[in-house]
Amino acid sequence: MVLIGYQFVSYHWVSIILTILIVTLILHVWHHHSVVGARLFLFTLLLAEFWIIAQGMEMSALGLSTKIVWANIQYIPVMLMPLTYLYLTLHYINHENWLKQRWLPVLLLIIPIAMNILVWTNSELIRQNVYLNLSGAFPTIGKTYGPFFWVFAAYNYLITIITMINLVNGLKEKNYLYRRQLFFLFIAILLPVIANLLHVSGLSPFATDITPVCFGVSALIIFGGIFTYRLFDIVPIARSIIIQEMKTGMIVLDNQGRILDLNPAATKMLRITSPQPIGLEIANELSGIPELISIFNEGKDNVREISCKHDGTQFCYETSLIRITNADNNSIGWLLQIYDITERKVAEEIIKHMAFHDALTGLPNRSYFQVLFTEEMAHSRMRGDMLTVAFLDLDNFKHINDTYGHDFGDRVLCKVADKLKGVLRDSDTIARIGGDEFAILLPHVENDDVINLIGKKILSIFEKDFNIDGKSLEIKASIGFGVAPRDGENIDVLLKKADQAMYSVKRNVKDKYYIYQDEDICS
């Protein structure tokens, strides 16, 4: 088929097929244009398509002058595509230091611009002895290369070599997912380079330059990489987010829960032992922290505190899971941030303990005793049994302070507290509610006979002298009991009645116990 000045040749079928495939890929990349590096790849695809079309027009043209026009036009993508591949690679492996240099693109464009000017103004420097070659299936441009052509060719190959070196270095640093993604890019760039070398050296078996076709095939290779290894799902976004020196642990995951990147802080916090965790599933790599796996499986943004034990030490972390989306609000992965809050939690526990416990003995204080009473009273109502409160006061403790000093008196109180804890049940709670006064919460008490046994058991610790700082000291105590619900269900009421029972002991015979009765009779 012949149009005015042009004809259709069989080679055009290859161009048409490649055009359809590249346009399809252009549409796909455009859909993901917000991803790091996608715009550069899109520009590269447009240049490849432009080259294929221009070459097709060159082969179609019947006249030599028309062919030369289309051949000159092809130098635009010829000189620019190595640069776009270089920048695509720098973006992909995050060479931010180079990408931030504003002078670099200006410097790199000097030779491509010079080439495209010379090919129109002093073409003999680029191609010489030009003629129409009619020996093949269709007319082609016969020529020899001019001196400046080799300068420009050397420049293009130099840029390509730099690109390949960067990709090879990336292959060494990455594992699984990234290595396969980088491998696809490596092959995609290597293929047209080989084709061009064969053409320029005259070793190609084809009459025409098949480099544009190879760029089309490269696009197909990258297309395969997109669907097989999600090449443009998350171009290493991790390195543009994760700062290596941050104390906050950060992990980038894909939608399937595979680790795309992480920083050293995350590796240290979560005790990740795999030398190359990239590409591994978080469910397998962090199976020892099921709370973390559960957070990811919920599939929504959330902030939660988790705890885990490493080498016998308990650690607390605050985790923040954030969905990563593109410009179209489609999910492309997750960012997991981990903050070590162990010191803060320990400090909070210390403050909480100080607020609810006696600083001297470490026992619950009066405020906390009231909280515990409220909880136990609710359980007692549900069970339908009695809850007993004991009020214990040391006899003649003022004499101990006056005789031996307050520091010695403090050690006496600590000793009494330890002995009381030793004779009480695990379910019982003892608190220091003032000076030498202690309150005891006794759940699951069936009747007064059990209270009598408890009273005798408590008084038994005062039967022998206390040995403190080498001094043998006789210490006695008086105890009063109040019983809920018989004597009331309010902590203040019960403590008051237990206190009254205890003072009945003080007034009569010390070192005894009373169970509160309205008649205030000794048990």
For the chain, helix, strand, coil in percent to 5 are: 55, 20, 25
**Three state DSSP letters for 144-167:** EECHHHHHHHHHHHHHHHHHHHHH
Q: Which residues, other chains included, contact 381 with Cβ-Cβ below 8 Å and sequence gap of 6+?
A: 485
Instruction: Return the bridge partners of 336, or none.
Output: 251, 321
User: 237-341 sits in which CATH class?
Assistant: alpha beta
Q: Is 114 exposed, middle or buried (0-12, 13-18, 19+ CB in 10 A)?
A: middle
Contact 263, 243 (CB under 8 A): yes
pLDDT at 1: 44
The helix/strand/coil state of 521 is: coil
Q: Which residues, other chains included, contact 116 with Cβ-Cβ below 8 Å and sequence gap of 6+?
A: 75, 76, 79
pLDDT at 174: 47
Bridging pattern class, strands 313-325 and 140-145: unpaired
Provide the residue type at 41 as one letter. Answer: F
CA dist list (Å): 68 to 9, 55, 194, 329, 364: 18, 11, 24, 47, 95
**All structural domains of the chain with their residue ranges:** 2-229, 237-341, 357-515
CA dist list (Å): 499 to 64, 390, 400, 479: 118, 8, 22, 8
CATH of 357-515, one of 3.40.50.1100, 3.10.520.10, 3.30.70.270, 3.30.9.10: 3.30.70.270
Q: Which residues, other chains included, contact 34 with Cβ-Cβ below 8 Å and sequence gap of 6+?
A: 326, 327, 328
Binned average pLDDT, 10 residues per bin, the chain of 523 residues: 68 82 79 66 84 86 89 89 84 68 87 92 89 80 88 90 81 59 75 80 74 75 62 47 68 85 84 78 84 87 84 85 78 86 79 84 91 90 89 91 91 93 90 93 89 92 88 91 91 92 86 78 42
Six-digit token pair at 392?
Answer: 């214990």
pLDDT at 523: 41
Closest CA to 302 of 286, 291, 314, 310: 291
Closest CA to 36 of 233, 220, 174, 218: 233
At residue 174, what are phi and psi to the nearest 5 degrees? Answer: -100, 165
CA dist list (Å): 342 to 339, 348, 357, 377: 9, 10, 22, 34
CA separation for the pair 237, 415 (Å, rounded) = 62
Neighbours of 94 (CB within 10 A): 20
The helix/strand/coil state of 141 is: strand
Six-digit token pair at 148?
Answer: 């400046």
Contact 38, 235 (CB under 8 A): yes
DSSP 231: T
Six-digit token pair at 366?
Answer: 């009066």
2-229 CATH: 1.20.1070
Q: Do domains 2-229 and 357-515 have the same CATH topology?
A: no
Work out whether the CA dihedral 161, 162, 165, 166 comes out positive or negative: negative
pTM: 0.49
Six-digit token pair at 449?
Answer: 């006979």
> Counting runs of H as helices and runs of E as strands, what totals does the chain give?
19, 16
Six-digit token pair at 268?
Answer: 């240290």
Closest CA to 289 of 314, 312, 269, 270: 270
**C-alpha dihedral, 25 to 28 to 30 to 32, nearest 10°:** -130
DSSP string, 286-354: TTT-HHHHHHHHTTS-EEEEEEEEETTEEEEEEEEEEEEE-TT--EEEEEEEEEE-HHHHHHHHHHHHH
Contact 409, 463 (CB under 8 A): no
CA separation for the pair 396, 136 (Å, rounded) = 123
